[in-house]
Amino acid sequence: MKTIFLTGGKLALICAVAAVALGFVNSVTAPKIEEINKQNLEKALKVVVPEGQPGDEVAVGQGAVASYYPVTREGIISGYILRLTGTGYGGNMNILAGYDLEGRVTAAVLMENEETPGLGKEAENQKYMEKYRGKGGKEPVPVSKKDLPAEAAESISGATVTFSGIGRALSEGSTYVKTKGGSR
Amino acid sequence: MNKEFIKGFFKENPIFVLLLGLCPTLAVSTRVINALGMGAGVIFVLLGSNIFVSLLKNFIPDKVRIPAYIVIIASFVTIVDLVMQAYAPSLSESLGVFVKLIVVNCIILGRAEAFANKNTLGSSVLDALGMGIGFTLGLLLISFIREVLGNGTITVFAFGNFDGVLRIPILYQAPVRIFSLSAGALLVMGFLLGFFKWYGSRKKGEQA
């Protein structure tokens, strides 16, 4: 009996000391981490909306669409920014995408992801997103390699899962924007 | 004394000779900077856990030593993870989940169990540094080969106007993509292991 308490007690003591130490480290790093996340989001928002003012975030949680920001220019809604969740090669990918009122993709940024460096991760470059720009209105958003012209298809070789994942999320976002139809 | 430090470099190199910690090795060795970051993380955790395990070796009851080691290791890993997220966000992003997985990296528990709980503080520190540096060197070698062949670049720290990426002509335009993929990791690992085994056996032959 005594040994059980002694053994358990010692283990509990080690855990307690560890917890205190971690709490201290967390209190130092947490504000810093939050600031970095906020900066990344702000940078991405700037890329996605070159003009106009994004409003407050509205949570959605419907399929790939996690939330949206209505974009207003001179008081009138000129488009939306959507936060989308796509499925890539390495799990979930967070995408921030701007749409005009007709559901066309105006810009997109790949945020947190676990894609393969050198392949799927290339989607973090702005040039990559050119393949989706302007799509989603009359033309559908490309979701597979055969939807692309030969040269662009070449550039996603080896990372088609990432490409389709982003495409599908953007396409779902486009459908969502169409149903919003200019309302807040 | 120096023996404990040097052995991790070559004679008991954790990757090539002890075959410890292969999972993160194969996964993160796509870029040179990942190897440096991962190596630094592992050295820090290994040092912390070896110091505490060695100091507490008479305090920790034998029955619960593994849970106690895991708590100590997990605490250091969490510290590394938080600090990396706060001060090196891009590195933390590219290492992804593998920083957290240092917890189950068998090098660290292996050294705690096989070395630090039997030896003095001083030699445990030397063992941790030697093993950690040995791991980093192994990781550097693999990721150097993989990044150069698979991507045609060498990514190190960015400073000033230099974005941290050295591009190698010809290979950058036409890289051998397979080396960036998992299959390439296994391939490089296999050849290096073969080389180290051959080298080791040749040396032994000379002595005999």
C-beta separation of A116 from B181 below 8 A? yes
* Interface confidence (ipTM) of the complex: 0.71
Alpha-carbon gap: A112 to the closest alpha carbon of chain B (Å) = 8
Quick one: pLDDT at residue A16? 94
CA distance from start to end of chain B: 26
Closest CA to A122 of A87, A166, A78, A63: A166
* Residues of chain B neighbouring A114 (CB-CB closer than 8 A): 96-97
Chain A residues lying within 8 Å of B77, measured CB to CB:
none
- Domain residue extents for chain B: 2-207
Q: What is the pLDDT of residues A38-76, one digit of tens each?
A: 888 888 887 777 667 777 788 888 888 888 888 887 778
- The pLDDT tens digits for B7-19 are 878 778 888 877 8
Q: Which residue of B has its CA nearest to A113?
A: B93
Structure tokens at B58: 């008479």
Q: Locate B156 and state its tokens.
A: 């190190």
Please report how many Cα atoms fall inside a 13 Å half-sphere around the Cα of residue B32, on the Cβ side.
18
Local structure of residue A94 (DSSP, 8 states): E
- Tell me how far apart the alpha carbons of residues B10 and B79 are, in angstroms, rounded to a whole number: 29
Query: Which of A33, A89, A93, A154 is the best residue to mutate to test the B interface, defined by the most B CB atoms within 10 Å of its own CB?
Result: A33
Q: Check CB contact under 8 Å for B86 and A118.
A: no
pLDDT value for A15: 92
**Mean pLDDT comparison of A126-130, B4-8, B81-85, B104-108, highest-scoring range:** B81-85
CB B121 within 8 Å of CB B58: no
Tokens of A136: 């989603």
Q: Is the confidence at residue B176, as pLDDT, over 90?
A: no
pLDDT at B207 over 80: no
pLDDT confidence of residue B1? 57
pLDDT value for B161: 66
Tokens describing residue A27 = 């209190």
pLDDT along chain A (184 residues), means of 10: 88 92 92 87 77 76 84 82 88 88 86 77 82 83 82 79 90 86 70
Residue with tokens 């600090």: B83
Token pair 């928002």 in the structure block, residue = A45
Stronger pLDDT, A151 or B78, i.e. the higher one: B78
Q: What is the pLDDT of residue A12?
A: 92
How far apart (Å, rounded) are the C-alpha atoms in residues A87 and A101?
Answer: 25
Q: Mean pLDDT for chain B?
A: 84
CB B30 within 8 A of CB B148: no
pLDDT of residue B136 exceeding 70: yes
A40 contacts on B by Cβ (under 8 Å): 89
Half-sphere exposure for A149 (CA within 13 Å, toward CB): 5
